Chain A
């Protein structure tokens, strides 16, 4: 057996069992498999079986394939362990021994009389991995790298081809462009908003001339006026990296929720008053003793109102 071939074939068959083979690589693998099946069938005949269910043959084939693959894998491992790249006979023998196989019996078995000779599988060329789009020249190893080392990957994986156009590097033009673009976007946007909504006009004769989006009172006007807009926040994040603030923010709101949220407080009220809960809170708030952070007390039963 060609060890390499078995190994590769073994893997391929396991993964692509029933699929219709079309590609040359698959054909190659199927041919191997078929040979293996013939071998298993011959062995079964040799042992005296007259017929076998397909499933049984299939299983045995699988086992056989695993066995051969394992020998190949192990032999390769042994050889690499001794810093060689091609396995030798001794590697295979050691492997067989390691796998609990009595290697000495092998020559006798090979020369047994009732053995069946199986024709060699048709010579099929091992599939050639189609060459990827070749780009540039493949590099050879420099002198200091031994030739058994893997080759360089295809050039397309590392070479770069500059394909961009010469950018407009003139600062003035860039600024000009950015400004015009922004202005156009803004104008288009505001015009759109003005067209789709209510407007106010500065002129009586032509109310479409300078359309102003109508002023609409809001219920809580201070919010939009004071809070930074999302755009501004974004800018701030880009220019500034003070994320710690946010964290402490959420911590603090958490603290508030504890005092304010009636749901949470019901929980507290189940517990004995001023017992366990405050101490928990103290650790939570980092020993801040502020009356507004203290839990709300449950009414005393006797107390009226």
Chain B
């Protein structure tokens, strides 16, 4: 993982996988089960390969054969239950390290796996090394909780009529959930995929569909796919359903699939995909690497976009008709993202987790180039600013995001991110939010590199990487060449230096090897005597998430005589920079003022300081540093910047700054921008909200009608009757977005009593009343949803007299009008649903706001009914959001329980994830506040959720960890009984272990009686011992294996773990049982002695050795299926 070391790729495995066949011959939608087999072709790279470790989760494995010989195997998944004993510990630090250890123990990148197959001695005894081995595994999946998602609507008819479908999903490498494999991005092989499905269904998978053959009864057909390009298992996917098929009219090798009845939407939504293809192929000067591409649109998708080798799975909610405006750019963006990742992510895979940033960065960067080309430079720069603000805000709040972590040793001290409550060592331990920010930062850093070496070189590097990979991929029989298709940080940087000849070392060191962003404070003074601008730039590099920046910084100064760029050096101790000015102050009043882009404009210079030639100053205008700049300049300078600077980023910065200057001049500048049609529409939209804020700040001196009202009237209302809005015509998108936004912003206006002015409310109600979409080519659903949002924004807290119960009679008259509209909208939606039910979503938010402001009784039942499974997902999310808010405001434990039960049981993974995400964002209580909700039962519940309840979904488990962290913090939750008895905190190692003194009472006597208490003893301890030492110990033990001939593998494991137990922490859990049903019988069959690492407490050793039981089969962690030879 260390960048300096890796010259080439070194496989962590004692074998090389060259080919894998996956055959799923039965998919039962009724029972939600899958039966199939895999066959892996591997070449041992060591003499006497005796054990093969593969990844497999939740699969029931019936039989393993190696070269036609039955092979014994062990199946152990330590991540099923992270902490194995019923301790009262409940400490997140402890959990996180145990979880990291568990993930490490089966990490394919370290050569580990859940499934350990013993190669039959006949095969290794021959001593014939480098002979090909074929590992054949029969498996089944019954009601999988992860990996594959079945959507089976509960209606009449056959599965195809019902639109039942199944598709693979997962966060990062999660293919092991649905078939045994080497679940690593760095183990490439060619594939043969075979799926037998109902004749009315289509199976879409990776690679080329070679043929489709009926089964003999003609009821089913088998889809045969071949993927000749070496591909990593995590990039394999499957989607089966009664899909409608659309061959792309522009590119016949591209096929689109959607659920029944949606074909017209699919046709429209996919009509521009070919442009994205053309764009990427052109800039990369490289053909799309796969022979075909498939897009599949499924319901209840895990994420909006997930991309796999030669196919992408999207949520069906991206499909839209030609009438929908707002969804169109979003869908295009999703397609562009998916396609970018086809090149970098699927075709070129990462060498290790530490190199993830390169692939995410490149795909994000070329996606940005697509945005620039399609949506324009303004949109692109706006997006870059947005992304930059996002990452800066996140890092300043949560601490740094590290792109390229290096883990030298396993020691805690070397943890590169001590500020986080999770480990960034594995993708599976990462918080989702962090990973999103990670991707965001990655593409921003790529842009920084582009700034440094130019876009041409950048594209040349990509082209070089792609050509290398495609050369390697065509080497059919030289699998060692395939590692060229893996990209590492080292290889990427080397390629950059080869192509550009530039040293980007400092840049990489600053942004890739180091976390955190830069925070600048700028201010200036103008020295008239010297005609010099004295600029002071200070930095905050002590707060969390910040780092020190040393290097060049660009400053742009707009003077009367023109715009001038200056490059300053930020050095260790220099804060002040003198910049000579070019122009004397106001020499020639009439002269036009040249701008940066060469344009010359007339300006009214009366506002400016007569002594200074400075119009405005910008620090780092190109966003070539990941920074936050807080710059001080006079209000008139911001106003000039807003009016005359042509860069949208500068305009947006000026708008944010003007919020602090509520003056008539600011008002005028904002109004002018609002009216200016040449101005970028998103700037104008932002100006609306700023104007509302300014108007509120100036409420006592405000002259004329409410802000924006006359403007809106002029732009969108009838000439003859200014109180009536024109019939909708959304042909001009810019004005459409403005028309949508202005009412929303206007509703934020408040009068002296801090109420929304009556004028404004009536105005919005009139907009709703006179809204007429009959002559419009586009749907007005988003517009109407925004009008409801405007009504919501107009709400202010009810004046409550001695906390009376809210009834219909004492309803405020205005609120009654609002409620009337919302009721009608919500009811109409039942009869004429809007696209994505946007109106229901807005109504639910409005109702929650009415409740929260005390206008109507606070009640959760409405939201609960909308949150139920069976509503459109956006509606459910909106309802859950209201429920989460309700839970927080009302401190209601019933609703919290209801939400948590949904997290455990809801069929839709995305909703589960969102619930936890929303609970984290809007927590019912936090670690610093007291709440009646915070009690032992809740701690236990959440602990159970993250410990074992979410083992099928990495993302959900990390969400649960996040929630636990938000509610209770890193240490022991405060609501638990005092810890004296319970645990010992080892401050040095930041770990907690069971207090040895409580062991006896929990121990020997009672443990075996109840399954629940099984596994209390010792196991946790062995886990704490695992971390870090794992990889070397495996290598040590390997050579010793063949020298111990043992009749049965079962016995061998026993002896092995007792022998090497001290090194193999996780081998404590390798126990095999004939079958789950028989587990009670065999409970005591295999006894193991527990040994501990020397660094574990000496006291423990004594006690642990005294009870020689291992963790029990009842925990379900270890399962050995009966071999067929029995």
Chain A interface residues toward B at CB < 8 A: 171-172, 175-176, 178-179, 183, 186-187, 189-190, 193-194, 200, 202-206, 209-229, 231-232, 235-236, 239-240, 242, 245, 248-249, 252-253, 255-256, 259-260, 262, 265-266, 269, 288-294, 296-300, 303, 305
Are the CB atoms of A202 and B862 closer together than 8 Å? yes
Query: Known contacts A239-B776, A292-B245; is A232 also within 8 Å of B323 by CB?
Result: yes
Are the CB atoms of B872 and A231 closer together than 8 Å? no
Checking A179, A219, A262 against B218 with a beta-carbon cut-off of 8 angstroms, the contacting residue is A262
Minimum CB–CB distance for B259 against chain A, Å: 8
Are the CB atoms of B199 and A222 closer together than 8 Å? no
Q: Show 11 residue pairs from A and B whose CB-CB distance is below 8 angstroms, ordered by the A residue.
A: A186-B828, A202-B859, A212-B862, A213-B826, A219-B153, A221-B870, A224-B872, A226-B316, A235-B774, A290-B247, A299-B214
User: What is the chain B residue whose CB lies nearest that of A182?
Assistant: B772
Interface segment among B11-19, B80-88, B204-212, B1015-1023: the answer is B204-212
- Complex contacts, B450 vs chain A, CB 8 Å: none
User: In the complex, which residues 800-832 of chain B have their Cβ closer than 8 Å to any Cβ of chain A?
Assistant: 805-809, 819-820, 823-824, 826-828, 830-832
Are the CB atoms of B779 and A232 closer together than 8 Å? yes
- Complex contacts, A305 vs chain B, CB 8 Å: 25, 215
B717-761 interface code vs A (CB 8 A; 1 in, 0 out): 010110010000000000000000000000000000000000000
B552 within 8 A of A: no
Interface segment among B261-269, B374-382, B1032-1040: the answer is B261-269
Query: Known contacts A204-B857, A262-B218; is A189 also within 8 Å of B247 by CB?
Result: no
Query: Known contacts A202-B862, A262-B218, A305-B25; is A236 also within 8 Å of B212 by CB?
Result: no
Closest 8 CB pairs of A and B: A217-B870, A190-B827, A291-B209, A172-B721, A225-B872, A219-B153, A209-B808, A206-B808
- Complex contacts, A204 vs chain B, CB 8 Å: 857, 859
User: In the complex, which residues 174-232 of chain B have their Cβ closer than 8 Å to any Cβ of chain A?
Assistant: 199-200, 202, 208-216, 218-219, 221
- Complex contacts, A303 vs chain B, CB 8 Å: 213
Query: Known contacts A220-B163, A227-B261, A227-B265; is A293 also within 8 Å of B247 by CB?
Result: yes
Are the CB atoms of B868 and A217 closer together than 8 Å? yes
A253 to B806, alpha carbons, bound, how many Å? 56
Query: Known contacts A239-B775, A293-B247, A299-B216; is A227 also within 8 Å of B819 by CB?
Result: no
User: What is the chain A residue whose CB lies nearest that of B298?
Assistant: A222
Query: Known contacts A175-B770, A202-B857, A217-B870; is A186 also within 8 Å of B824 by CB?
Result: yes
B319-334 interface code vs A (CB 8 A; 1 in, 0 out): 1111100000000000
User: In the complex, which residues 860-895 of chain B have their Cβ closer than 8 Å to any Cβ of chain A?
Assistant: 861-862, 865-866, 868-875
Are the CB atoms of A292 and B857 closer together than 8 Å? no
Minimum CB–CB distance for B61 against chain A, Å: 21
A216 to B215, alpha carbons, bound, how many Å? 41
Are the CB atoms of A226 and B247 closer together than 8 Å? no
- Complex contacts, B806 vs chain A, CB 8 Å: 203
Are the CB atoms of A193 and B831 closer together than 8 Å? yes
A183 to B213, alpha carbons, bound, how many Å? 58
Checking A189, A231, A245 against B267 with a beta-carbon cut-off of 8 angstroms, the contacting residue is A245
B1124 within 8 A of A: no
Interface centre among A172, A215, A291 (most CB of B within 10 A): A215
Are the CB atoms of B244 and A256 closer together than 8 Å? yes
Are the CB atoms of B247 and A236 closer together than 8 Å? no
Checking A183, A200, A288 against B865 with a beta-carbon cut-off of 8 angstroms, the contacting residue is A200
B252 within 8 A of A: yes
Are the CB atoms of A226 and B835 closer together than 8 Å? yes
Checking B252, B253, B718, B859 against A171 with a beta-carbon cut-off of 8 angstroms, the contacting residue is B718
User: What is the chain B residue whose CB lies nearest that of A205?
Assistant: B807
B281-324 interface code vs A (CB 8 A; 1 in, 0 out): 00000000000100000010000000000000000110111110
Query: Known contacts A299-B216, A305-B25; is A206 also within 8 Å of B807 by CB?
Result: yes
- Complex contacts, B253 vs chain A, CB 8 Å: 290
Are the CB atoms of A249 and B263 closer together than 8 Å? yes
Checking A171, A228, A232, A294 against B212 with a beta-carbon cut-off of 8 angstroms, the contacting residue is A294
- Complex contacts, B592 vs chain A, CB 8 Å: none
B833 within 8 A of A: yes
Are the CB atoms of B872 and A299 closer together than 8 Å? no
A220 to B833, alpha carbons, bound, how many Å? 14
A83 to B69, alpha carbons, bound, how many Å? 112
Are the CB atoms of A171 and B720 closer together than 8 Å? yes
- Complex contacts, A232 vs chain B, CB 8 Å: 323, 779
User: What is the chain A residue whose CB lies nearest that of B766?
Assistant: A179
Q: How many inter-chain residue pairs (CB < 8 Å) link A and B?
A: 221
Are the CB atoms of B847 and A175 closer together than 8 Å? no
- Complex contacts, A225 vs chain B, CB 8 Å: 317, 833, 835-837, 872, 874
B773 within 8 A of A: yes
Chain B interface residues toward A at CB < 8 A: 25, 153-155, 162-163, 199-200, 202, 208-216, 218-219, 221, 244-247, 252-253, 255, 259, 261-265, 267, 292, 299, 316-317, 319-323, 718, 720-721, 724, 769-770, 772-777, 779, 805-809, 819-820, 823-824, 826-828, 830-833, 835-837, 847, 850, 856-857, 859, 861-862, 865-866, 868-875
Query: Known contacts A193-B830, A211-B823, A252-B246; is A172 also within 8 Å of B870 by CB?
Result: no
Minimum CB–CB distance for B160 against chain A, Å: 9
User: What is the chain A residue whose CB lies nearest that of B865?
Assistant: A215
Are the CB atoms of B819 and A189 closer together than 8 Å? no
A242 to B322, alpha carbons, bound, how many Å? 11
Are the CB atoms of A202 and B213 closer together than 8 Å? no
Minimum CB–CB distance for A253 against chain B, Å: 7
User: What is the chain B residue whose CB lies nearest that of A260?
Assistant: B200
Checking B211, B247, B776, B870 against A235 with a beta-carbon cut-off of 8 angstroms, the contacting residue is B776
Minimum CB–CB distance for A274 against chain B, Å: 10
Minimum CB–CB distance for B204 against chain A, Å: 8
Are the CB atoms of A292 and B209 closer together than 8 Å? yes
Minimum CB–CB distance for A282 against chain B, Å: 12
Minimum CB–CB distance for A138 against chain B, Å: 46
A265 to B200, alpha carbons, bound, how many Å? 12
User: What is the chain A residue whose CB lies nearest that of B155?
Assistant: A219
A217 to B772, alpha carbons, bound, how many Å? 30
Minimum CB–CB distance for A252 against chain B, Å: 6
Are the CB atoms of A179 and B770 closer together than 8 Å? yes
Taking A215-B866, A228-B835, A235-B773 as known contacts, 14 extra A-B pairs with beta carbons closer than 8 A to each other, sorted by chain A number, are: A172-B720, A175-B718, A190-B824, A193-B831, A205-B805, A210-B819, A225-B874, A231-B832, A262-B219, A288-B247, A292-B202, A296-B214, A297-B211, A299-B215
Checking B199, B200, B820, B837 against A210 with a beta-carbon cut-off of 8 angstroms, the contacting residue is B820
A189 to B244, alpha carbons, bound, how many Å? 36
- Complex contacts, B212 vs chain A, CB 8 Å: 291, 294, 296-297
Checking A172, A210, A219, A222 against B317 with a beta-carbon cut-off of 8 angstroms, the contacting residue is A222
A107 to B264, alpha carbons, bound, how many Å? 86
Query: Known contacts A212-B823, A226-B319; is A175 also within 8 Å of B721 by CB?
Result: yes
Query: Known contacts A221-B871, A227-B262, A297-B213; is A212 also within 8 Å of B831 by CB?
Result: no
A252 to B262, alpha carbons, bound, how many Å? 13
A190 to B822, alpha carbons, bound, how many Å? 12
Query: Known contacts A209-B808, A217-B868; is A253 also within 8 Å of B263 by CB?
Result: yes
- Complex contacts, B215 vs chain A, CB 8 Å: 299, 305
Minimum CB–CB distance for A295 against chain B, Å: 8
- Complex contacts, B25 vs chain A, CB 8 Å: 305
- Complex contacts, A193 vs chain B, CB 8 Å: 827, 830-831
- Complex contacts, A206 vs chain B, CB 8 Å: 807-809
User: What is the chain A residue whose CB lies nearest that of B256?
Assistant: A292
Minimum CB–CB distance for A168 against chain B, Å: 13
- Complex contacts, A231 vs chain B, CB 8 Å: 832
- Complex contacts, B255 vs chain A, CB 8 Å: 290, 292
- Complex contacts, B210 vs chain A, CB 8 Å: 291
- Complex contacts, A256 vs chain B, CB 8 Å: 244-245
Query: Known contacts A186-B824, A186-B828, A236-B323; is A226 also within 8 Å of B808 by CB?
Result: no
User: What is the chain A residue whose CB lies nearest that of B810?
Assistant: A205
Are the CB atoms of A292 and B247 closer together than 8 Å? yes
Minimum CB–CB distance for A122 against chain B, Å: 70
